[in-house]
Amino acid sequence: MPKKILAIFCLVLSSVTFASSLPAFPFIHATGEALLVVRPDVGEIDFELTELTSDPQQTMDIMEKNSAEVIAFLVEQGLLEEDIEAAEVKKYISPVEYLDSSEAQKKFRLMRNFHLVIRDIQKWNAIVSGLLAKPYLGNFSVSFGRSDMERIQNDLVLMATSNAKQNAARLAQGLSVRLGPANAASQSPLKSVSTILGMDGVVKREEQIVQNKPISRDLAVPTLLKFKQSVDVVFRIKF
């Protein structure tokens, strides 16, 4: 087969391959991004209450006593009952504690997990300080977020969509074409458009999502929270 015919044949095959995953009309693909920086107004705390003695009944009695003390402290700080979650008591078996131990030396470890929602962030430091002062509490982890996440997510999508349209309009102006209506949109990168115009090379993109309340071991309240959102939009081109 002559080289010229072979080249044309390959070009036709490539065009068919790209056409199968690209829109069947002239288009502009644009990405829009949005960022909101706000102060946290809600926090959550997870921690464990642990007791360990050689007497199972004594261990349970101490567990109940300390649990009641923790709950009383939280109520005193103004937490509502529905914002205090105390799990069932679990028996924890440590192989090290039972290794080569006589029955008299074996100890009984009980554990209870707590989950708190702090809706008044001004009370955070007092609550955390009081919990840290209790020696039987440990394994703390915290997260922070916003009580108005639905509004924040709506604002981010609107801002990102507007940014995508502005970016598309600049592309259209640079190409001396008119921007038509949007024909496809996604809050995460579109599944194809020949893998975001990498022509299935494959070009990978990191997905931007709104993540509320990321978990942290740092118990201090962060000064600001950053929420990001990206959208991908396909616009028709008008000639």
Report the pLDDT value the prediction gives residue 198, as an integer from 0 to 100. 41
Contact 221, 43 (CB under 8 A): yes
H/E run at residue 31: strand 27-38
| Cα–Cα distance measured from residue 178 to residue 161, given in angstroms and rounded to the nearest whole number | 18
Structural domains in the chain, sorted by start = 23-39+149-238 (3.30.110.170), 42-145 (3.30.70.2970)
Q: Please give the structure tokens belonging to residue 169.
A: 């309009």
> Residue 20: which residues within 8 A CB-CB, separation 6 or more?
none
What are 114-144's pLDDT values in tens digits?
Answer: 999 999 999 999 999 999 999 999 999 999 9
Amino acid found at 148 = D
| Cα–Cα distance measured from residue 237 to residue 29, given in angstroms and rounded to the nearest whole number | 10
Residue 101 backbone class (left: φ over 0; alpha: ψ -120 to 50; beta: rest): beta
Query: Which pLDDT tens digits describe the chain residue by residue (239 residues)?
Result: 444 433 333 333 334 444 446 667 788 889 899 999 999 999 999 999 988 877 778 888 999 999 999 999 999 999 999 999 999 988 766 555 555 555 555 567 789 999 999 999 999 999 999 999 999 999 999 999 999 999 999 999 999 999 999 999 999 889 899 988 888 888 865 544 434 444 333 333 333 444 444 455 668 888 888 888 889 898 988 87
